[in-house]
Structure 1
Amino acid sequence: MRIGMRLLLGYFLIVAIAAWFVLSIFVQEVKPGVRRATEGTLIDTATLLAEIGRDDLLSGSAQNGHLAQAFSRLHQRPLRANIAGIQKVRNEYHVYMTDAQGRVVFDSAGKALGQDYSRWNDVWLTLRGKYGARSTAAHPDDPESTVMYVAAPIRDQGNIIGVLSVGKPNLAMAPVIHRSERRILWAGGALLGIALLIGAIVVWWINRSIGMLSRYADSVTRDSPLPLPDPGSRELRKLAQALENMRLRLEGKKEIEHYVHALTHELKSPLAAVRGAAEILAEQPPPQVASRFIENILAQNARMQSLVEKLLTQARLENRVKIAPTTIDTGTLFSRLHDTRSTLLSAKRLRLDIDSPPIQCVGDADLIEQALGNLLDNAIDFTPEGGTLTLAAQATSAGVALSVADSGTGIPDYALPRIFERFYSLPRANGVKSSGLGLAFVQEVARLHQGEIVLRNRPHGGVEATLTLHRPFT
């Protein structure tokens, strides 16, 4: 399982457990809370009605008193109340009044008149000066039919002469309880959904940042490593910088070993030639023979000096991390390349065509000119006399493509996989062996510009080298 999915599951599990505890507490408190609020209204109502019913109880005709008449009129007037979406169409209070012995003298429902309620908690406790309340099922077989009763004493000159009890069915509170529970559950579900969305966004960001670092680390093993990413977090940025430092150290060590090995290999031939010429000169040969070997020593010395200078240039280029981009006009760039190589073109009777509409790109002008110059020099070396070369620029969806094409013999299939290796070169028509660093230089320029260099054989002969500068350098 991916680390992002583990983080998401762990985060969601923590949020779900916390939400479950909070929601369960809220849901469990809804019903008792509603009943406590209802009980408070019942005691207020019972106390008020006890004051109204005192005169009815003293008159000895409570069943026909003012309280009875009020309930009779109340039952004749249906209610039409919409309480936050809950419809209320009738009065749900059940009121009864007992005398000092607990016998019912008034019942709003007209069913318990004359019955002895002295043993019910609400009446029994209230007659003894205590707070009396009870919850009793109206139908013994139906546990959901419970009614909550709260009683208040009826006093006359400080003596308790009766009890007035007000009851309300618990089912009347069920819509309020269910609606509250439903809203709490909906809110909890929305909370979990928002938490999951936030967690998914965070995990996506973490996966994206880690993926950027992973792709960067994987690219280190390839020939064209990606530029250092910006994960967007200080901690991950430190990790990215640590990877970059490690890459630079490892590549530096590897490149040093490679350069030393390659340089040693490349210097063997000129050193051997210089040594052989020096041994012959030590024997004091005739002047004409000595002159030939002295020229050979100078030529080999120039070759070694050129090789060392190109290696230093390549090393400096590979150690660069950033460039100083400027706006480059391809037409002007191609004109400079033509002017600087006009002598070589004339010597081989080569024609250089420039196919460049008004296109501008962004990059390091000196590096791009050197890179295209290397490609053009290769094209000149491998194109026979009377051939044609082409410099072209084309705007693409990815950026700007700069190409150099020739009409030479092309690149052999066996050489294509190694064409960008340092010190690897193909024999030229003039017999001069190159340093094999030109295309490696072009590849480094492409990397610094976040672009690519591609060489392919043309169908009708010759090679086309395309240097593409990707955005944001276009």
Structure 2
Amino acid sequence: MPLGVRIFLVYFLFVGLAGWFVLSTVMDEIRPGVRQSTEETLVDTANLLAEILRDEVKAGSLGQSRLPALLKAYGQRQPQAQIWGVEKSAVNHRIYVTDAQGIVLLDSSGAALGQDYSRWNDVYLTLQGQYGARSTREDPADEDSSVMYVAAPIKDGEQIIGVVSVAKPNKSLQPYIERSQRRLGWLGAGLIVLGLLIGGVLSWWLSGSLRKLTRYAQAVSQGQRAELPALRGGELTQLATAVQKMRTELEGKDYVERYVHTLTHELKSPLAAIRGAAELLEGEMPAEQRQRFVANIASEGARLQQLIERLLNLALVEQRQGLEERVPVLLHELVEELRQSQAARIEAAGLQVENLIDTGLSVSGERFLLRQALANLLDNALDFTPPGGLLRFSAEVKGDAVQLSLFNQGEAIPDYALPRLSERFYSLPRPSSGRKSTGLGLNFVQEVAGLHGGSLQVGNVPGGVQALLRLALS
């Protein structure tokens, strides 16, 4: 299972359980919270009515006062109030008054007038001088039918002369409880989903960063050119930098060792030729023969210089992980510049070099490296083109890339050599001299193409050989 998925599952489990626990706890607290708030209001109402009713209860004139008619009218009121999205269309309070013995003197519902309520907790406790309240079901089988009763004493001085109770059905509170639970449920679910979304994004970002770093490490282990991925985050950036530093140090050691072996091997042949010629020159010989050996020494010295220069250029390119700059480079102008630099060699061999590249066509890259790459291609093509032959530069746009083509007349490349043309130090004998080159030119071109995100392909075509260099369009 990928690390990102495991991180998300752990996060999902934690957020889900924590969210469910908090939401469940808050949901369970809504109902008692609403009822406690309602009870507090009933306490205030009962105490207010106790003060209002005191004189009538003391005088024994409660039944002859206007209060029964007022309570009846109160019970018939229709407030049509919109309370936080809930419509209240009827009043729900029931009010009854008892004397000091618990006998009901007044009942807004008219149902309990004259009954003995002295055993009900609200009346009983209040007559005892305590806080009197009770919750009683109207239907014993229905828990939602409970009614909350809160009483207050009616006093004459310090003497309790009666009790007034205010009742409110808990069913009337249910719409507010359900609305609060519904809103809280949506809000809680939204927060949980948001938390999971954030966790998913975080897991995706973390696993994506680790995947980039893994791909980079795999590319490095396979010897591929790879750029250090841009990562955000302190520890990830430090890890990427450490991997890059380790790669540089390990590659540097391996690279130096490989190049020392390569250079030693390649220098043996020209140095042996120079040494042999020098030893022969120490003795007496005809002037013509001496001149030939001197020419051999000069030729091998030039070969050594060319080998060292190309090795240095190739080493420079191989060690780079990216371009130092990306600028538009006009291909027609670059080819013309190279053709002028090789004008003497072209004229001496009677070659025809055509530049069919559109003057406005450009590629994106580093001009110095592109010039060196094209110079190597041209130099290689000149070596294999017979006197009076044709070389042709052309280019066409394919998608988001430019495919530059260099055709030269000449013999076809042997099939066995085609897969090895860009291999380092592999070279075919030149038709004019029979000697091989350093075998670094096409390898250098391939490295430059890779730096530019392109590729090199060399193959046989009717009438000669064609090199295709694919580069990014400017």
1:356 matched residue in structure 2: 357
Q: 1:412 to 1:35 in 2, by over 3 A?
A: farther
1:189 matched residue in structure 2: 189
- Three-state SS of the structure 2 residue aligned to 1:414 is coil
Q: 1:123 to 1:409 in 2, by over 3 A?
A: farther
1:252 matched residue in structure 2: 252
**How far apart, in 2, do the equivalents of 1:412 and 1:171 lie?**
97
Q: Report the AA paired with residue 390 of structure 1.
A: R
**How far apart, in 2, do the equivalents of 1:262 and 1:470 lie?**
32
**How far apart, in 1, do the equivalents of 2:232 and 2:467 lie?**
37
1:180 matched residue in structure 2: 180
**How far apart, in 2, do the equivalents of 1:161 and 1:312 lie?**
115
- Three-state SS of the structure 1 residue aligned to 2:410 is coil
CA contact (8 A) 1:392 1:402 kept: yes
CA contact (8 A) 2:135 2:147 kept: yes
Report the Cα offset of residue 110 of structure 1. 1.8
The more displaced of 415-424 and 169-178 is 415-424
Q: 1:343 to 1:286 in 2, by over 3 A?
A: closer
Cα deviation 1:330-359 (Å, max 9, x = unaligned): 222111111112222233333221122212
1:418 aligns with 2:420: yes
Cα deviation 1:185-230 (Å, max 9, x = unaligned): 1111111111122222222222332232222222224565122221
- Three-state SS of the structure 2 residue aligned to 1:406 is strand
CA contact (8 A) 2:445 2:456 kept: no
**How far apart, in 2, do the equivalents of 1:415 and 1:395 lie?**
29
1:344 aligns with 2:331: no
- Three-state SS of the structure 2 residue aligned to 1:346 is helix
**How far apart, in 2, do the equivalents of 1:37 and 1:3 lie?**
50
1:443 matched residue in structure 2: 446
TM-score, with length taken from structure 2: 0.91
Q: Report the AA paired with residue 191 of structure 1.
A: L
Q: 1:37 to 1:410 in 2, by over 3 A?
A: farther
CA RMSD of aligned residues (A): 2.5
- Three-state SS of the structure 1 residue aligned to 2:329 is strand
Q: 1:199 to 1:440 in 2, by over 3 A?
A: same
1:31-42 alignment to 2 at 5 Å? 31-42=31-42
1:432 aligns with 2:432: no
- Three-state SS of the structure 1 residue aligned to 2:256 is helix
**How far apart, in 2, do the equivalents of 1:236 and 1:145 lie?**
62
2:333 matched residue in structure 1: 332
CA contact (8 A) 1:224 1:447 kept: no
**How far apart, in 1, do the equivalents of 2:460 and 2:283 lie?**
53
2:384 matched residue in structure 1: 382
Task: Provide the identity percentage.
Answer: 49
CA contact (8 A) 2:392 2:408 kept: yes
Report the Cα offset of residue 326 of structure 1. 4.1
CA contact (8 A) 1:4 1:204 kept: yes
Q: 1:289 to 1:337 in 2, by over 3 A?
A: closer
1:240 matched residue in structure 2: 240
1:268 matched residue in structure 2: 268
Q: Report the AA paired with residue 3 of structure 2.
A: I
Structure 2 unaligned segments of length 5 or more: list them: none
CA contact (8 A) 2:413 2:460 kept: no
CA contact (8 A) 2:50 2:163 kept: yes
CA contact (8 A) 1:348 1:386 kept: yes
1:134 matched residue in structure 2: 134
- Three-state SS of the structure 1 residue aligned to 2:152 is strand
**For this pair of structures, how many residues does the alignment match?**
471
Structure 1 unaligned segments of length 5 or more: list them: none
The more displaced of 378-387 and 59-68 is 59-68
CA contact (8 A) 2:455 2:471 kept: no
The more displaced of 36-45 and 114-123 is 114-123
- Three-state SS of the structure 2 residue aligned to 1:179 is helix
